[in-house]
Structure formats: C-alpha cells, structure tokens
Amino acid sequence: MIIEQRKPKDGEIWSILSDIHFPHADVPALKIAIEITEKIGAESIILNGDIMDVSCLSDHEKDPDAPKKFDKECDSARWFINWVNTRGTSTSWIFGNHERRWHRYLHRRTPELYGQSLPVTAWFKGKVLDGKLSEFPKIRAGNLVIEHGDSFWPRGTFTPANPAVNVLDKAPDQTTIIGHVHKESYFCRNSLDDKGIRRTHAAHSSGHFSIPDSHSKYVGDYANWNQSFRLVTFNNVDNKIRFNITPVEIHRDSKNKPYALFQGKAYR
C-alpha cells in the first residue's frame, strides 16, 4: 500500500485540488482556486487525482472537441503544473482512475512498456504517488487521510446521494478527504475514545474543476456535480496533529461566470 506519511508544522495550510481533467479544465473556475490558494498562503498543494483526463487513450467515446494527440492533451496542463511548482517542494500528486488510463493502455496495447511514467509528470517537481493498476495511494497526516476516492467504488461510477456517508461507513476511524465523485458532500460521527473523550471523525468529498459538458456523453445532462476544493489548516494541540477543513465552493453568477465567496470577499 502506498501511503505518504506527513507531519505538517503548526499553522501549515494545504490546498487540495482534484478532478481537473485536463484538457477539459474549467480554467476560469480553476484560476479562482489558484487565487484563493495564493491569498491564504498555502504551503502545500495536494493534487488529489484525475488532474489529467487521458481521454486520448480511453476506451470511452471520445470528445470530438478534445485534442486528438496525447502530447497535445499533456501540453494543456503545462501552465498549471508550472504554477504548482512555484508553491515549493512540499507538493504531491495522487494518481486517480483517469491517470491510470495511461497504465491500462500500456498494459493492453504495449505491455513491454508497462510501468513507464505518465509523461506529463516529468514537468512536476513534487512527489508522484502512482499506484499503477493495483494500488490506491494515500497521504496521511495524523488522523487525516487524503485519497482520490475510487477505492470506495472500485467496480463502477455509481455514488450515493451523499458520498461522504458511504466513505465514513467504510473508514470510520479517520477523517477522509476524497475527490472522484465530482460532488460536494460532508458527514461526521462522534464516538468515545479509550479515555472516554468524545472524538469526531468525518468524511468530505470535493467537487471538480472540469467543464461539465465534456462528461455529458457518459453521465448525461443531469449529473448532480459541484465545483469545489478544500483548504486544510494544521495545528499542534497537546503534541498531536489537529486540523480544520474548509470547503470552498465555486458558484455561478447570472451570466454563468464562476465566482467564490471566501473570508468576506467575492473572487471572480
């Protein structure tokens, strides 16, 4: 099992972004997340899977407006990866099911090349957590676990009305942040620890930063999806890692332009 163990310092802030699906990125919405991330001074960027769509190599029906060559698809993400690289070296990229399309393609079509890295990661200066076709990578900091989320629904794309309930049912002894489902959800549960102290464990699912229409061929026109990301602030309490998770949602104005409300300010 691939688990990156981290010990964030007191006051450290992480920005967790997922499901951008380059070349189908909703760039105006993504730039709002970037602006907020910079404004709050996040020290670490966690790319929580499906940053690339890898649609050129997919078995699904192709988007006719998408790049027809894989190198062009990779090039569409270069500006974003360059930005992530400016945020320091404490960045990680957890592979999701869409990045694994690369490995699946090699495994089926050119098995002699299976195991080679997804080419776009050559530009990324952080740590790549690539489970290939057999593992689901995670980041753990204290009782917080961050993973893409496809391990909770490994055999299909169906998710319940509140994915966080399902996640917490399967991982009740931790707080989990996932992407994957493109849906904003939250659920928490209290229990007593071995000292009789009440503790809260929770699950969060974040939205996406892709253009919804680019997925309509396989999810239809009524996907209940949201655009959002997570900011996590860590503090040292009684020599233990504690954290506060803040969801930041992207909304749409009367002209269908994205905006976010954060700390008393509207970002557009």
pLDDT in tens, 19-70: 999 999 999 999 999 999 999 999 999 999 999 999 888 776 556 666 668 9
pTM, two decimals, is 0.94
Rounded to whole angstroms, how far apart are CA atoms 86 and 83?
5
- pLDDT of 16 reads 98
Alpha-carbon 3 to chain mean position:
16
CA separation, residue 86 to residues 8, 27, 30, 43, 119 (Å): 19, 18, 16, 10, 20
Which of 151, 225, 214, 154 is CA-nearest to residue 185?
A: 225
Which of 116, 101, 97 is CA-nearest to residue 50?
A: 97
- pLDDT of 20 reads 98
- Strand order across the beta sheet in which 185-192 lies: 3-5, 138-141, 144-147, 175-178, 198-205, 185-192
91, pLDDT greater than 60: yes
114, burial (CB in 10 Å: exposed 0-12, middle 13-18, buried 19+): middle
| Domains within the chain, CATH numbers bracketed | 13-267 (3.60.21.10)
List the structure tokens of 216.
């309509």
List the structure tokens of 102.
């690369």
Write the DSSP assignment of 178-212 as a string of letters: E-SS---EEEEEEEE-TTS-EEEEEEEE----B-G
Q: Can you tell me the mean pLDDT for 245-266?
A: 97
- pLDDT of 220 reads 65
Helix (H, G, I), strand (E, B) or coil at 170: helix
Alpha-carbon 224 to chain mean position:
18
- Say if residues 89 and 125 touch (Cβ distance below 8 Å): yes
Helix (H, G, I), strand (E, B) or coil at 227: strand
- Say if residues 93 and 128 touch (Cβ distance below 8 Å): yes
- pLDDT of 81 reads 98
Characterize the bridge pairing of strands 138-141 and 144-147.
Answer: antiparallel
Question: Could you read off the pLDDT of 165-212 as tens digits, one per residue?
Answer: 999 999 999 999 999 999 999 999 998 988 899 999 999 999 999 997
- pLDDT of 4 reads 97
- pLDDT of 125 reads 96
Question: Could you read off the pLDDT of 96-131 as tens digits, one per residue?
Answer: 999 999 999 999 999 999 999 999 999 999 999 999
Question: Could you read off the pLDDT of 215-247 as tens digits, one per residue?
Answer: 666 666 657 899 999 999 999 999 999 999 999
* Residue labelled with tokens 């802030």: 13
- Say if residues 26 and 258 touch (Cβ distance below 8 Å): yes
Characterize the bridge pairing of strands 258-262 and 44-48.
Answer: unpaired
- pLDDT of 140 reads 98
